[in-house]
Structure 1
Amino acid sequence: MLVCVTSYSQVEINGNVKSSITNLRPISDIYIEQLKSEKPVFERMTMADSTGFFRIENLEPNTLYEIKLSAFGYKDQVFEIKTNNGITKTTLTLKAGCDYSRQQADKDWKSEKPKLLIVGSIAPIANSTSDTKFEKKYGIKYFDFGCTPIIAECIKIYNERIFELMDKTYGMKWRKKVRSDVEYLE
């Protein structure tokens, strides 16, 4: 009896996407596209999941692929990845520059120009009388990006450092009077 056995090897690239800012998954959605492919768009594009994991399947073995990552606030980045005969694992890091960082928060605090960062809607909301009183009392300004914010991780890191400095200087009482739309205040 002659038996023919055919083995099928799934060739894929999979791995994780992380932010150069936090070494964690970027907060925004991450789109992954296989470039220079004749496949329809829906077959050559995917998204990373909530942990940053992604998978691109049905690839050719021992082939160099260009993979483009896109995430809100980051510049699109292209990575070259060569497949092997099975699963090629990789970690892709989205590089970003932050004008608002932990270091910038410290610098702003020392120069007495700290901000509490807000992501608003189409147009920034004008400060109310209570906002103005809060700013004056605590020596801080609300800064509303409107609907075009910077990278979410930058806002998070900057605001969290300002929260630490506010807590250290004023205790927790300021938290009861701050605007509810200040990002990442828990």
Structure 2
Amino acid sequence: MIKLTLNIIFFLITLGIYSQTNIYGTVTDQGSSEVIPFASVHLNYNDTILDAETDFEGKFYFSNVKSDSLRLSVRSSEYLDFDSTLFLHEDSIVFSIDLISDSTAEYSVFISPYNRKGALKDIEKGRLNLLLPGGIVSAAELPNDSIFEEKYNVVFISQGCVRSPGENQAEYNYEIFKYLDETYGREWRKEIRKDVIGFKKR
């Protein structure tokens, strides 16, 4: 009986260590929204490189990805390359990628405001966010979120799994934590959601 119990525990631990994610994606033209077939898709994580090609409907699929984060790149002739970091927090994620035609006269890159510089600007404007992990862009809510948000003048948000250039969520939250300590003392640390990125109760 003891041996059976130990085997079950070992099996459950093994499942936790080797949790896997399935990734489903669609590649489209940003201007026309038409799907792009035969685009090359590459995943790079933990010294592993996976390659795929979009089908006639612009879709691609990777199964059993064993990593919390990875590098995703997409290449297709007549389009600018797509390259970004992907963070995995779900068993399966579904998303789309818009490629920009290389004939476009101007190519603007969106620089994320979620870094140290962005946090200092938000503090100055009195517009504070606390960033949460998550696979879907949303304002995730728990029962006590609204109470905390109103009391400390902050908003909990999740930016999804894809990171924009210049983004550092832990760095952003760290500056907000410092501001809350200076403004409210340390009482807020007992009330905050424990899944906020970079939070450590001290």
TM-score by length of 2: 0.42
Structure with bigger strand share is 2
Higher relative contact order (CA 8 A, sep 6+): 1
TM-score by length of 1: 0.45
